[in-house]
Structure 1
Amino acid sequence: MTQLQPNLLDNRLRAAEAVVREAGRLAADHFARRELLSIDRKGAQDLVSEADRECEDLIVAGLSRLFPEDGFLGEERGTRNPDASAVWVIDPIDGTHNFLTGVPFWCVSVGLVVDGDLTLGIIYDPTAAELFSARKGGGAFLNGRPIKVSGETDPTRARICIGFSYRRPVAEHVHAVDALLSAGCEYLRLGSGALGLAYTAAGRFDGYWERHMNSWDAVAGLLLVREAGGWTNDFATVHLTEGCEILATTAALVDTVKRHVTFGSSE
Structure 2
Amino acid sequence: MHATINARTSAPDLSQIDLDARYTLAQELALAAARQGKTRYNERAKLTIEHKNNDFQDVVSEVDRQLEDLIRQTLAKRFPEDGFVGEESGAAQLSARCVWVVDPIDGTACFVNGLHSWCVSIGMMIDGVPCVGAIADPNHDELFHGCIGRGAFVNNTPLRVSQASDIREGLTGVGTFHPSGKENFLPFLQKLLADGGMFIRNGSGALTTAYVAAGRLIGYYETQLKSWDCMAGLVLVAEAGGRRSDFLRGEGLLQGNPFLVAAPGVYDQLARMIGPSLDED
Same fold (TM over 0.5): yes
1:20 counterpart = 2:30: yes
1:41 counterpart = 2:61: no
Shift of 1:15: 1.7
CA RMSD after TM alignment: 1.6
1:32 counterpart = 2:42: yes
Give the partner amino acid of 1:247.
L
Query: Which residue number in structure 2 is paired with residue 257 of structure 1?
Result: 270
Distance 2:267 2:88 in 1: 33
1:89 counterpart = 2:117: no
Normalising by structure 1, report the TM-score.
Answer: 0.95
Normalising by structure 2, report the TM-score.
Answer: 0.90
Shift of 1:212: 0.9
Give the partner amino acid of 2:267.
V
Q: 1:117 to 1:146 in 2, by over 3 A?
A: same
Give the partner amino acid of 2:25.
A
The answer on whether the counterparts of 1:10 and 1:135 sit within 8 Å (CA) in structure 2 is: no
Shift of 1:59: 0.6
Query: Which residue number in structure 2 is paired with residue 248 of structure 1?
Result: 261
After the TM superposition, which residues 1-267 of structure 1 pair with which residues of structure 2 at under 5 Å, given as runs? 3-5=13-15, 8-42=18-52, 43-236=55-248, 238-262=251-275, 264=277, 267=280
Give the partner amino acid of 2:255.
E
Shift of 1:176: 1.0
Aligned-pair identity (%): 40
Q: Which moved more, 1:18-27 or 1:78-87?
A: 78-87
Distance 2:73 2:278 in 1: 40
Cα displacement string for residues 171-220 of structure 1 (whole angstroms, at most 9, x for unaligned residues): 31111111101110011111101100000100100000111100000111
Give the partner amino acid of 1:126.
P
Cα displacement string for residues 221-244 of structure 1 (whole angstroms, at most 9, x for unaligned residues): 111111100001123363111111
Q: Which moved more, 1:61-70 or 1:235-244?
A: 235-244
Give the partner amino acid of 1:108.
V
Distance 1:144 1:52 in 2: 28
Q: 1:111 to 1:96 in 2, by over 3 A?
A: same
Give the partner amino acid of 2:33.
A
Q: In structure 2, list runs of 5 or more residues that go unmatched.
A: 1-11
Distance 2:26 2:264 in 1: 29
Give the partner amino acid of 2:266.
L
Specify which structure has the bigger relative contact order, considering alpha-carbon pairs within 8 angstroms and separated by 6 or more residues.
2
Q: 1:265 to 1:200 in 2, by over 3 A?
A: closer
Distance 1:215 1:225 in 2: 15
The answer on whether the counterparts of 1:89 and 1:111 sit within 8 Å (CA) in structure 2 is: yes
